Amino acid sequence: MGRNIFDLSDRVAIVTGSASGFGRCISIGFARYGANVVCADINTEGLRETIKRVKKKGQKGLAIRCDVTRQEDVDNLVACTMEKFGTIDILVNSVDSYTHAPPSEFSIKDWMIPINTDLKGTFMCCQAVGRVMEKNKKGSIINMTSIIGLIGTGRGNSAFAACKGGINGLTRDLAIEWAPYGIRVNAIAPCQFRTEGFNRAIEEHSKVIDRETLLKRMISNIPLGRIGEPEEIVGTAVYLASDASSMVTGHILHLDGGYLAR
């Protein structure tokens, strides 16, 4: 039988934002496909739970408290990973920092939060890990973006849209910069998925619009007719991390139940 092109055995992955939501699911999913996983987040309690589940899959796990916006934390994340595993093959940037308000009411401080956290943190992690991958002449980087980086939706999303549009541009640019080094850089653009972050956003929005009406409106835009479950990201993430996507780089993969196909 041929080699399993989705196999991640002996690969070392760093996943940021892995104390909950997509980051946690991706960490556990990577472990199921054989990777050792370094989980980074500001939520240490959540990290402990993710690492417990990574180890249950029979893989090595390492939890690092890391605020991706702090240079010393990012440098420490890379240093600790190198000390324990000696290499980095995969990076997933999955930190969430959603803010929303009508454009005329957005305080600039709140508007800057996704830019200063998600966009800046994604670049800082790419830069620090990219230095290792450049030396290795290989690697796969996956950035979490959103359908809202590709289309306008209204609903107070100007900051999130600008941040995710920035992540799409960053992904494409780094893909070109690092192609000569064999480093692939891609992004996943989900529609709405039932993560902890999504539940918080729904709570926020339901202060101004009835929750059921809001959910119905969201679902009506998704041809598959439902909100996604967080575990449904695993196949896409394993595909982009593994040799199965060896010729794919600079791609924004829509994980959206057909949202953008309409």
- Where do contacts with ligand NAD occur on this chain (CB under 6 A)? 16-17, 19-23, 41-43, 46, 66-69, 94-97, 117-118, 121, 144, 146, 190, 192-193, 195-198
Which CB sits closer to ligand NAD, 45 or 105? 45
CB of 122 to ligand NAD, least distance (A): 8
Q: DSSP for 140-182?
A: EEEEE--GGGTS---TT-HHHHHHHHHHHHHHHHHHHHHGGGT
Residue in the shown chain whose Cβ atom is closest to ligand NAD: 21
- Tell me 110's DSSP state: H
Nearer to ligand NAD, 114 or 139 (CB): 114
How many CA atoms, within 13 angstroms, populate the side-chain half-sphere of residue 38? 28
Q: How far is the CB of 156 from ligand NAD (least distance, A)?
A: 15
Q: How far apart are CA 241 and CA 254, in angstroms?
A: 16
Which CB atom, from 180 or from 225, has the smaller least distance to ligand NAD? 225
Please name the residues in contact with 103: beta carbons below 8 A apart, sequence gap of 6 or more: 156, 158
Amino acid, res. 148: I
Q: What share of the chain is helix, strand, coil (3-state, %, to 5)?
A: 50, 15, 35
Q: Which is nearer to ligand NAD, 12 or 144 (CB)?
A: 144
Q: How far is the CB of 42 from ligand NAD (least distance, A)?
A: 4
Taking each helix axis from N to C end, the angle separating 196-205 and 211-220, rounded to the nearest 10 degrees, works out to 120
* CB 139 to ligand NAD: min, Å: 20
Q: Least distance (Å) from ligand NAD to the CB of residue 180?
A: 28
Longest dimension (CA), the chain: 61
At residue 249, the 3 state secondary structure works out as: coil
Q: Which is nearer to ligand NAD, 41 or 89 (CB)?
A: 41
In terms of CB distance, is 81 or 192 closer to ligand NAD?
192
- Please answer whether residues 142 and 237 qualify as being in contact, where contact means their C-beta atoms are separated by less than 8 angstroms: yes
Kindly state the smallest distance separating residue 49's Cβ from ligand NAD, in Å: 11
DSSP conformation class of 14: E
Phi (first) and psi of residue 61, to 5 degrees: -135, 150
